[in-house]
């Protein structure tokens, strides 16, 4: 048996399918436990979007039941690393296993048509997950009554942007996405350049969650003091959207070679101003901005409370959608999102929620751009059809077998 045949047999085997499902079960369990301590975002990255991971097992305390807790455990097993495959790798292998074992290798006859369709439905669902993972965007759009907007901001991703300080109107800004600088190793530098800019931007130190404070003698900052301010590194928050990144930059002028150090921070109230090449430039660090291909105007936001409480019973937004020359009045509720041009707008929040209903209430939508938005639903239909067909055929076969005349009893031996 050739190596390729062995590999084919392995990748299409039931054994591999069972092993993958066991690992998926294990990682779902471990990830659920880990989420309690490290939050959803980190856990998703570590367990569900990775090829490999190192799980920290333990430490464990070995005790006798009903023993006096004050005496401590009999022994303590220290924490130890457990290398595991990530869910991304497992699902990739599951796709290969399903294609080879569940479709290519599967005997093609009428009785297995339902299984084939079901396997196709599962593959379709996995494909939906992959497309969402790779190409979907999610963010938040906040709009006040009578305000019109098409901008929504990412929950998790940040960009460093550079633009001409004196330009107004529709202005082009250069974007350095966080994926290109957030994983900066200690001591390393990333230098970013663009022909239209008279300077390069050097990212010399980054912080996932930090504060910028005036330097004082009673505490030590986590970087250089610039203009009396220093960055204080903070422990990352469990919920990623609460983290505020920061970075030390060096602005290196191309013609003069002059270098200027600066700090940019996710919560800075004004962008950094740089004079270079005879012009002024603004450098900002902000949440990634996306743009809808259509406008939303909030006509009215309505919230109804449970009687005698400040707990919302239901809330919805009456909006007008502007797309090209067309205006459409619509209503977005918690369970009735707006779907248009590949975007889905869910009603997720409102504010201000300080009990003062005299103020105008703004509406908050979660915007999801997901090319595979409806694929899971369709894949469920496919799977349902496949299972229905398969069980129908099995039922028909069973009914047929029960109607078959029973074999005549054997004649008694004389």
Partner 1 sequence: MQRLVVAPLSHREKSPAMRATSLALPLLLAAACSGDGGGPRPITQSREVDVTPGRDKVGATSADRFGSMSGGGHAGATAKATPELVWDNPPGWTELPPNSMRTANLKPAGHPDAECYLSLLPGGAGGLVDNVNRWRKQMSLPPIDAEAVKALPKQKLLGLDAVRVDLTGAFAGMAEGPGKADFQLIGLLTTFGDQSIFVKMTGPAAVITAEAANFDRFVASLELLQPADAAARRGSGANASPTASGGPEGGAPAGGAAAGAGTASAPAPGADGRVSATNQGIRFTGPIGWTADAPRATRVVTLRPPGTKQTECVVSVLGGDGGGLSGNVDRWRGQLGLGPLAAAEFAALPRVTLAGRDGVQLDLLGALDDAMTARKLPQARLLGAIALLEGKSLFVKLTGPEAEVDEAVKNGFLELCASLAE
In 3-state terms, what secondary structure has residue 107? coil
Q: Which of 5, 107, 134, 172 binds partner 1 (CB under 8 A)?
A: 172
Site size with partner 1, rule: CB under 8 A? 95
- Single out the segment in contact with partner 1 by CB under 8 A; choices: 19-27, 92-100, 195-203, 382-390: 195-203
Pick between residue 277 and residue 376 the one whose CB is nearest to partner 1.
277
Pick between residue 126 and residue 164 the one whose CB is nearest to partner 1.
164
* 413 token code pair: 């031996």
Q: For residue 276, state whether it binds partner 1 (rule: CB under 8 A).
A: yes
Calpha distance 73→143 (Å, rounded): 56
Q: Which of 2, 3, 4, 65 binds partner 1 (CB under 8 A)?
A: 65
Q: Produce one character per residue of 19-53: b if its CB has 16 or more CB atoms within 10 Å, e if not.
A: ebeebbeebeebbeebbeebbebbbbebbbebeeb
Query: What residues numbered 140-169 form the site for partner 1, per CB under 8 A?
Result: 153, 158, 162-163, 165-169
Please report the sign of the dihedral spanned by the C-alpha atoms of residue 329, residue 331, residue 332, residue 338.
negative
Q: For residue 62, state whether it binds partner 1 (rule: CB under 8 A).
A: yes
Calpha distance 180→201 (Å, rounded): 12
- Single out the segment in contact with partner 1 by CB under 8 A; choices: 102-110, 274-282, 335-343, 382-390: 274-282
- Single out the segment in contact with partner 1 by CB under 8 A; choices: 6-14, 86-94, 271-279, 381-389: 271-279
Q: How far is the CB of 283 from partner 1 (least distance, A)?
A: 8
Largest distance between two CA atoms of the chain: 119
Report the DSSP beta bridge partners of residue 105.
none
Q: For residue 51, state whether it binds partner 1 (rule: CB under 8 A).
A: no
Calpha distance 155→355 (Å, rounded): 26
Calpha distance 75→340 (Å, rounded): 60
Q: How far is the CB of 150 from partner 1 (least distance, A)?
A: 10
Query: What residues numbered 99-128 form the site for partner 1, per CB under 8 A?
Result: none
Query: What residues numbered 284-323 form the site for partner 1, per CB under 8 A?
Result: 284-287, 289, 291
Number of other CB atoms surrounding residue 152 within 10 Å? 27
Nearest to 351 by CA among 334, 368, 365: 365
Pick between residue 123 and residue 251 the one whose CB is nearest to partner 1.
251
- Single out the segment in contact with partner 1 by CB under 8 A; choices: 60-68, 110-118, 132-140, 388-396: 60-68
Query: What residues numbered 201-220 form the site for partner 1, per CB under 8 A?
Result: 201, 211-219
The length of the chain, given as a count of residues: 414
Q: What single DSSP character describes residue 112? A: G
* 300 token code pair: 């009215």
Query: What residues numbered 234-263 form the site for partner 1, per CB under 8 A?
Result: 251, 258-263
Q: For residue 367, state whether it binds partner 1 (rule: CB under 8 A).
A: no
| C-alpha distance from residue 372 to each of 125, 153, 239, 259, 337 (Å) | 9, 21, 26, 46, 16
Pick between residue 129 and residue 271 the one whose CB is nearest to partner 1.
271
Q: Which of 1, 4, 70, 185 binds partner 1 (CB under 8 A)?
A: 185
Name the H helices within 315-410.
Answer: 375-403
Q: Which of 267, 300, 377, 397 binds partner 1 (CB under 8 A)?
A: 267
- Single out the segment in contact with partner 1 by CB under 8 A; choices: 78-86, 101-109, 349-357, 373-381: 78-86
In 3-state terms, what secondary structure has residue 358? coil
Pick between residue 132 and residue 284 the one whose CB is nearest to partner 1.
284
- Single out the segment in contact with partner 1 by CB under 8 A; choices: 119-127, 265-273, 347-355, 356-364: 265-273
| C-alpha distance from residue 207 to each of 43, 212, 231 (Å) | 20, 11, 9
Q: Which of 14, 29, 60, 398 binds partner 1 (CB under 8 A)?
A: 60
Q: Which phi and psi angles does 38 have, rounded to 5°?
A: -115, 0
Pick between residue 78 and residue 307 the one whose CB is nearest to partner 1.
78
Q: Which of 135, 146, 148, 177 binds partner 1 (CB under 8 A)?
A: 177
Q: What single DSSP character describes residue 145? A: B
Binding mask 4-33 for partner 1 (x = CB under 8 A): ------------------------------
Residue 288 near residue 152, CB atoms below 8 Å: no
Q: Which of 35, 209, 268, 297 binds partner 1 (CB under 8 A)?
A: 268
Q: Which phi and psi angles does 114 have, rounded to 5°?
A: -65, -40
Q: How many CA atoms lie within 13 A of 65 on its CB side?
A: 0
Q: How far is the CB of 249 from partner 1 (least distance, A)?
A: 8
Q: Is the previous residue joined to 352 through a cis bond, with omega within 30 degrees of 0?
A: yes
């Amino acid at each position: 048996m050739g190596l390729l045949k062995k590999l084919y047999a392995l990748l299409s085997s039931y054994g591999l399918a069972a092993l993958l499902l066991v690992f998926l079960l294990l990682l779902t369990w471990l990830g659920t436990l880990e989420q309690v301590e490290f939050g959803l975002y980190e856990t998703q990255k570590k367990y569900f979007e990775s090829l490999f991971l190192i799980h920290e097992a333990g430490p464990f305390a070995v005790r006798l039941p009903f023993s006096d807790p004050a005496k401590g455990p009999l022994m303590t097993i220290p924490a130890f690393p457990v290398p595991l495959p990530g869910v991304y790798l497992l699902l990739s292998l599951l796709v290969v296993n399903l294609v080879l074992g569940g479709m290519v290798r599967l005997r093609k006859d009428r009785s297995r048509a339902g299984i084939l369709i079901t396997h196709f439905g599962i593959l379709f669902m996995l494909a939906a997950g992959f497309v969402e993972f790779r190409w979907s965007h999610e963010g938040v759009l906040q709009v006040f009554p009578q305000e019109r907007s098409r901008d929504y901001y990412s929950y998790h991703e940040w960009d460093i942007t550079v633009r001409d300080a004196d330009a107004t109107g529709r202005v082009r800004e250069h974007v350095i996405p966080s994926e290109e600088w957030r994983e900066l190793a200690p001591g390393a530098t990333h230098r970013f350049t663009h022909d239209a800019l008279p300077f390069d931007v050097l990212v010399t130190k980054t912080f996932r969650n930090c504060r910028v404070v005036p330097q004082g003698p009673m505490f030590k900052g986590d970087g250089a003091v610039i203009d009396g301010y220093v960055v204080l590194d903070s422990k990352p928050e469990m919920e990623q959207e609460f983290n505020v990144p920061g970075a030390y930059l060096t602005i290196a002028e191309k013609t003069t070679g002059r270098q200027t150090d600066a700090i940019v921070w996710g919560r800075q109230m004004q962008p950094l101003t740089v004079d270079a090449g005879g012009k002024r430039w603004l450098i900002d660090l902000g949440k990634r901005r996306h743009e809808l291909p259509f406008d939303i105007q909030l006509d009215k936001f309505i919230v109804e409370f449970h009687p005698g409480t400040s707990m919302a019973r239901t809330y919805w937004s009456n909006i007008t959608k502007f797309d090209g020359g067309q205006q459409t009045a619509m209503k977005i509720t918690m369970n009735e999102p707006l779907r248009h041009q590949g975007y889905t707008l869910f009603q997720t929040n409102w504010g201000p929620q300080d009990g003062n209903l005299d103020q105008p209430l703004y509406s908050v939508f979660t915007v999801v751009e997901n090319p595979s938005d409806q694929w899971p639903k369709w894949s469920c239909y496919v799977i349902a059809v496949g299972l229905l067909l398969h069980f129908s055929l099995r039922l028909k076969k069973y009914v047929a077998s029960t109607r078959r005349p029973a074999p005549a009893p054997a004649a008694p031996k004389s």
